[in-house]
């Protein structure tokens, strides 16, 4: 077992803690979190027992999409600090044993990027083909029917070039032409810049949007059915504006670069209704990415044993087939505690979902505040910042409710997040769940999550083992994690009422961790919203 631990790369089975920098800790009183603020809170993160952090974009940006519209890949936006601040963050994180993963946005830039400024000047300049330009149809309409994620056509007219440019997201996020090898070279050079500074990995944002069908065929229509449609994007099968077959070939170039710097973690975000083939293609073998995650859980309206089994059953083979990552909440999705539960046992439910996330085979990504069991905040319309939330209000929860400030202390101004006015209001009930409150409570979600991470870190079965499911009746979920003679049973009751104890829960077993039970090895029924982890 110890030899296997020594042989596998640090990232396989690692727990990554996601930080949304605008909302983590403000160090200068402007109401926006920053890099020095993160550095000042790394002790908290290290105390959890996670293996590394992923920091959402902090690069120079006009912030139309809060950093996912990059205008300079190789610098820090002044609202977050300086390159020296980032270097200091790296130094402190590494001193605490934490790896540092950062975003790479490779499918588009900001329209204020110097590359786009040059590309749009005329049709013959050196970067004329760095973005996706097309002539209008004879009637002046866009080149095809492709729609943007945030609403409207995926094309905007530019009077300088007398052409349309493509954008899968906001019009301020023009699509890069990754079919152009020069664009690939420039993006890889930007990644090298951060690798040379010492980062340990990259999360590749919306990477399945990075290449398109160069024949620009229309997307076929999607059957509406009884769905409520908030954006035209959802009326199409996105087979031509994204997911091109050459993307894995570009990812091989990414992997070749990162391999020159050692065991670098690369994880792809893969959105869409059928993400599995792309995830497998992006991660297969030793020449592509380390891992990928999709939205199996991020937008799911309920948590069921069937959903968990289906998601895990796709990744039960050898590591060569690819290695998954999992997230229940993040900066783009409403917090899972609110999506999946509305009742009096919220803390217990949060302990159960954190345990489930950390017991799945793959890499868990724990979003800031998940260790506290924070619910989704309700942000009033007049305080909204997210362009998608504003456009679709009130039909969607939007993303702002998952991006509200981290609550550190119950009695300090704005929960200790800032001395000024926060960019988003503190979430309802979040102060009562603040870090200082939960630190002092042995039974809190925070302290349970720390114990859970201790159990995971000590177990090769949980970090790198196989998974197999017991046949139990819903809402029970039971599975084994096994590796090199170690075999752990993980039992969850995902429902609101006690369930009969399944036969696989041997009375008197060695209980490693339990939540919701008056005694961890109690032989009675399995309590509602509970978890039990024991050794066979």
Catalytic site positions: 205, 269
Q: Where are the beta strands (DSSP E) in 147-215?
A: 155-158, 163-166, 201-205
User: 7: Cβ–Cβ under 8 A, 6 or more apart, which residues?
Assistant: none
- Please enumerate, as own/partner, the contacts of 516-525 that have beta carbons within 8 Å and a separation of 24 or more: 516/348, 516/351, 516/352, 525/498, 525/499, 525/500, 525/501
What are the tokens at 154? 């995926």
For 88, residues 6+ apart whose C-beta sits below 8 A from its C-beta are: 35, 36, 39
What does the block give as tokens for 262?
């050692």
Task: Provide the sign of the torsion angle of the four alpha carbons 120, 124, 129, 132, taken in this order.
Answer: positive
**CA angle centred on 69, ends 64 and 72, rounded to 5°:** 125
Q: Which residue has the tokens 């152009």?
A: 180
| Strand bridging mode 476-483 / 466-469 | antiparallel
Cβ atoms of 175 and 207 within 8 Å: the answer is no
Q: How far apart are CA 53 and CA 391, in angstroms?
A: 31
The span from the CA of 65 to the CA of 388, in Å, is: 9
**Nearest by Cα to 492 from 517, 509, 463:** 517
- Alpha carbon distance 17, 231 (integer Å): 31
Q: 268 with 283: CB under 8 angstroms?
A: yes
| Number of helical (H) and strand (E) elements in the chain, helices listed first | 15, 18
Side-by-side strand order, sheet with 155-158? 133-134, 163-166, 155-158
- 363 forms bridges with which residues in the sheet? 325
Q: What CA–CA distances, in Å, run from 497 to 347, 373, 388, 478, 534?
A: 16, 21, 37, 16, 22
Tell me which H or E stretch contains 477. strand 476-483
CA distance 516 to 26: 36
Q: What is the DSSP letter of 147?
A: B
DSSP labels for 228-263?
A: PPSSGGGGB--SSSS--TTHHHHHHHHHHHHHTTSS
């Amino acid at each position: 077992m110890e030899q296997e631990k020594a042989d596998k790369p640090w990232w396989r089975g690692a727990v990554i803690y996601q930080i949304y920098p605008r909302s983590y800790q403000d160090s200068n009183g402007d109401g926006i979190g920053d890099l020095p603020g993160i550095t000042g809170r790394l002790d908290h993160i290290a105390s959890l027992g996670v293996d590394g952090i992923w920091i959402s974009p902090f690069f120079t940006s006009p912030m139309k999409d809060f950093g996912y519209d990059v205008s300079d890949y190789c610098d820090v936006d002044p609202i977050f600090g300086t390159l020296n601040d980032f270097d200091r963050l790296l130094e402190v994180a590494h001193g605490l044993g934490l790896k540092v993963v950062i975003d790479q946005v490779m499918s588009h830039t900001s329209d204020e990027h110097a590359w786009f400024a040059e590309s749009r000047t005329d049709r013959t300049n050196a970067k004329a083909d760095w973005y996706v330009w097309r002539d209008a149809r004879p009637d002046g309409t866009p080149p095809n029917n492709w729609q943007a994620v945030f609403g409207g056509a995926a094309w905007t007219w530019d009077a300088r070039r007398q052409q349309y440019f493509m954008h899968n997201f906001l019009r301020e996020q023009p699509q890069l032409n990754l079919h152009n090898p020069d664009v690939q070279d420039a993006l890889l050079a930007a990644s090298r810049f951060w690798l040379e500074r010492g980062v340990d990995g990259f999360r590749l944002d919306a990477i399945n949007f990075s290449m398109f069908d160069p024949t620009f065929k229309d997307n076929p229509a999607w059957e509406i059915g009884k769905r409520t449609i908030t954006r035209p994007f959802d009326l199409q099968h996105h087979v031509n504006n994204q997911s091109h077959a050459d993307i894995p070939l570009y990812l091989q170039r990414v992997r070749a670069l990162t391999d020159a710097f050692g065991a670098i973690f690369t994880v792809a975000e893969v959105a869409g209704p059928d993400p599995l083939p792309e995830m497998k293609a992006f991660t297969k073998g030793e020449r592509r990415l380390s891992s990928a995650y999709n939205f199996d859980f991020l937008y799911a309206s309920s948590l069921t044993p069937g959903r968990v089994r289906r998601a895990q059953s796709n990744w039960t083979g050898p590591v060569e087939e690819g290695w998954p990552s999992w997230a229940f909440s993040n900066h783009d999705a409403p917090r899972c505690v609110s999506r999946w539960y509305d009742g009096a046992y919220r803390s217990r439910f949060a302990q159960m979902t954190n345990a489930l996330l950390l017991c799945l085979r793959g890499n868990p990504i724990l979003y800031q505040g998940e260790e506290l069991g924070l619910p989704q905040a309700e942000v009033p319309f007049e305080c909204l910042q997210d362009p998608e939330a504003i456009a679709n209000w009130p039909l969607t929860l939007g993303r702002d409710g998952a991006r509200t400030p981290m609550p550190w202390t119950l009695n300090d101004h704005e929960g200790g997040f800032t001395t000024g006015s926060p960019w988003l209001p503190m979430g309802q009930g979040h102060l009562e769940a603040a870090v200082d409150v939960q630190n002092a409570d042995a039974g809190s979600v925070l302290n349970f999550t720390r114990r859970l991470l201790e159990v995971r870190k000590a177990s090769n079965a949980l970090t790198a083992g196989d998974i197999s499911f017991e046949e139990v009746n819903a809402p029970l979920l039971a599975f084994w994690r096994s590796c090199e003679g170690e075999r752990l049973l993980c039992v969850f009751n995902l429902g609101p009422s006690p369930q009969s104890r399944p036969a696989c829960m041997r009375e008197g077993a060695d209980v490693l961790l339990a939540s919701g039970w008056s005694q961890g090895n109690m032989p009675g029924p399995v309590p509602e919203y509970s978890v039990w982890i024991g050794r066979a």
